[in-house]
Amino acid sequence: MGVNTLYNYYIVEKETKKTAGEDVNLELLLRPSRWEDYVGQEKVKANLRLIIDAAKGRGETTDHLLFYGQAGLGKTTLAYLVGKEMNANVRSTSGPALEKAGDIAAILSNLEPNEILFIDEIHRVNKMIEEILYPALESRKLHLIVGKGPSAKTFSLDLPPFTVIGATTRINPLSAPLRSRFGATFRLDYYRPEDIEKIVGRSAEILGVKITKEAITKLAQASRFTPRTANRLLKRARDYAQVYKNRNIDEEAVKKTLEMLDVDELGLEETDRELLGIIIKKFNGGPVGLKTIAAALNEEMETVEGVFEPFLMKLGLLHRSPLGRIATPLAYDHLKIPRNDKQLPL
């Protein structure tokens, strides 16, 4: 499958805009299909642009690339844009899908010259898969073991020039040897509000809906600084405006949409507020351990630490200390809870 065919799954050009009856996955429709349409992450884009231009100038593949950051920040989109810029086919898989040695061996042995292998959730590959990736990334060798016991034999297969792009929301679980095989590592940070506003405006244009500047600002404020969330809220606001107002998306339509979704003006959802409420009401503002919070929320510790806490810390509502998590004065103010004087100082 060529790069253009693959892009039919991920990117739909602006000209294929959207009537209500179109059977098009809107999330894919809203993904940028051109480098210049990718808003934000300017430092990452500048460094990638340098790597891509240099590789193209030498007629080589790019170094292996590793993207990390919160979900919804555009890691997958960037990977496919690199493929488009390099005129390279992109094969996609994920860490959980690579269970056995044969899974990764089958993919690597079938790579064509200059192809890109995109591995999402790469932090979830197991040790056996890592051991196969080491020589593949470093020297383009695939080592295969045939048989078992004393009669087992090792065969080495040369691989064509290729690039691996890994994406993860959690870089710490990646082993140091695996991380060192990537030629460049990029952290995608939360977006600036003004960049989210540009993304919402672009998405509204693609969807063919008119939206006021005030509505764009309000959506951006509730977006968790994340394009995926911003686009999700925009689609729901479009639904509300269509069903209840039968007109363009204005600030009132966004306000009602957020109320229906139980999202407040800062973008906090029910679980975010519940997390802060547990720390404040049950543990006098903290400190309290991650395991205790996860149990009280009935969530996995990995989810609490990797999904909820970074956003709350970004807003200054939560503080991590050696003793545990502490709700900040801003959290008390936001939840309209009088502050307990017995709380430990931050």
Active site residues: 75-76, 120, 169, 228
| Contact (CB, 8 A) for 6 and 80 | yes
Which whole-number Å values give the CA distances from 163 to 112, 137, 166, in the listed order?
Answer: 11, 8, 10
Which whole-number Å values give the CA distances from 285 to 23, 31, 72, 282, 314, in the listed order?
Answer: 48, 40, 30, 8, 18
Q: Which residues contact 215 (CB under 8 A, 6 or more apart)?
A: 237, 249, 250, 251, 253, 254
The stretches of 119-175 forming alpha helices (DSSP H) are 127-139
| Contact (CB, 8 A) for 160 and 60 | no
Residue 105 phi/psi, 5° resolution?
-65, -40
Residue 250 phi/psi, 5° resolution?
-115, 180
Helix then strand count (H, E) for the chain reads: 17, 9
The stretches of the chain forming alpha helices (DSSP H) are 3-10, 26-29, 42-58, 75-85, 101-109, 127-139, 176-180, 193-207, 213-221, 227-240, 251-261, 270-277, 283, 290-297, 301-303, 309-314, 329-335
| Contact (CB, 8 A) for 305 and 323 | no
Residue 185: Cβ within 10 Å count: 15
Whole-angstrom distance, CA of residue 95 vs CA of residue 31:
23
Hunting for tokens 């056996």 — which residue is that?
Answer: 128
Pairing of strands 184-187, 65-68: parallel
Amino acid sitting at position 290: L
Query: Helix, strand, or coil here: 321?
Result: strand
| Contact (CB, 8 A) for 33 and 7 | yes
Torsion angle of C-alpha atoms 80, 82, 85, 88, degrees rounded to 10: -70
